[in-house]
Amino acid sequence: MRPLVATVDLTALRNNYLLAKRFAPGCRAFAVVKANAYGHGVREAVVTLRDVSDGFAVASLEEGAEVRAMHGEARILLLEGCFEPSEYQAAAQLQLDVAVQGEAQAQALLSASLTRPLNVWLKLDSGMHRLGLGHSEARNWQGRLRGAPQVAELNLMSHFACADEQGHPLTQQQLARFNALPATEFNNRSMANSAAILSLPQAHLDWIRPGIMLYGATPFADRSAASLGLEPVMSLTAQIIAIREVQVGDCVGYGGTWLARRPSLIGTVSCGYADGYPRHAGPGAEVVIRGQPVPLAGRVSMDMLAVDLTDLPEARLGDEVELWGRQMPVDQLAHSCGTIGYELLTKVTGRVPRRYR
């Protein structure tokens, strides 16, 4: 086998979910497992959490059906709602909770002939301006949906735009707009994503929605996952598959962008951008070999990348290389690449085998 594997620590996943619950005592929590559980494997995530989770959240009907097949009783929230009117019947058959984020969805719901009513989450656009109804529209549809035969519970939800930025004024504005709709008119309310769970207790309400924190990455630019008590879930590891000496003036990799300024030792590592490692990783990006950070050398290739082993002359063929994990936090690599941990985790491709423990 090609020496590259994503090892997923399911105990860490479970611990991170329980940590989210401890941050919001008395609240129920939808574990967000959309996008194949952020690249970690939705089947394994659901099985791991099924005896502790209050519910799961997904992005599409197909994802909801996949989770339902593994857990017959769980509450499963369809975060973006139904994309076609015909999907409401399927959602009812699957017993999904469904977001209603616009007038077209609300009209389609009231026109649907369902075998059973749905738990509906009316989505308020509290200031992110991505999905959701405005305040007056939400009040109107609250009145129209309450008591409709298609509706069991009528709940309220919204989503923060800047909860990951401490003290951002929009966060308090969004919370005020959300609270302007009377709580007594809804069965449940939900607003807190990972960042709000960890930093904004007034937003915890009835249901929280932990996402990135489940997978051991931080939602904040200035606070590490470790400082929050989160455990990394995925470790992406490869091997050194070649070592060569290069002389002063020699270049490494496509485009010859890395130039040796001293006699150097270059290692080739069995991971590239076709595996999900960011092609734009450059100066500042590091891997860990034998417990020591080692910088990249040159451009990332499709199946390989090069590292500068000059300061680690004891490195050998076959040495394990941690691309990210417990020694190299995924958020640290993401920061050096000008992106976020979410993107790196979800982009690990299908050709990388997952090993679960």
Predicted pLDDT at 42: 98
What pLDDT is attached to residue 278?
97
State the DSSP H helix or E strand holding residue 195, giving kind and residue range, or none if neither.
Answer: helix 194-199
Which one from 21, 34, 88, 277 is the annotated catalytic residue?
34
Using DSSP's 3-state secondary structure scheme, residue 326 falls into coil
Domain ranges of the chain: 10-216, 234-356
Q: Of all residues in the chain, what percent carry a pLDDT higher than 90?
A: 99
Query: Rounded mean pLDDT of 45-54?
Result: 97
pLDDT for the residue 94 = 98
pLDDT tier at 283, thresholds 50, 70, 90: confident
The token pair at 287 is 């891997």
Tell me the fold of 10-216.
TIM Barrel (3.20.20)
Q: Is 290 annotated as a binding residue?
A: no
CATH superfamily of 234-356: Lyase, Ornithine Decarboxylase; Chain A, domain 1 (2.40.37.10)
Distance CA 139, CA 136 (A): 5
Mean pLDDT of 264-288: 96
The predicted structure's pLDDT at residue 282 = 79
Q: What is the pLDDT of residues 290-313, one digit of tens each?
A: 999 999 999 999 999 999 999 999
Q: How confident is the model at residue 236 (pLDDT cuts 50, 70, 90)?
A: very high
**Residue 191 annotated as binding site:** no
34 is catalytic: yes
Res 158: pLDDT: 98
pTM (predicted TM-score): 0.96
Catalytic residue among 17, 38, 215, 254: 254
Place of tokens 């929280």: 208
- The model's pLDDT over 180-213, given as tens digits with 9 standing for 90+, comes to 999 999 999 999 999 999 999 999 999 999 999 9
**For residue 247, what pLDDT band results from cuts at 50, 70 and 90?**
very high
Q: What is the mean pLDDT of residues 105-123?
A: 97
Alpha helices in 50-159, H assignment, sequence order: 61-70, 87-93, 103-111, 135-145
Quick check: is 342 catalytic? no
Q: What is the mean pLDDT of the chain?
A: 97
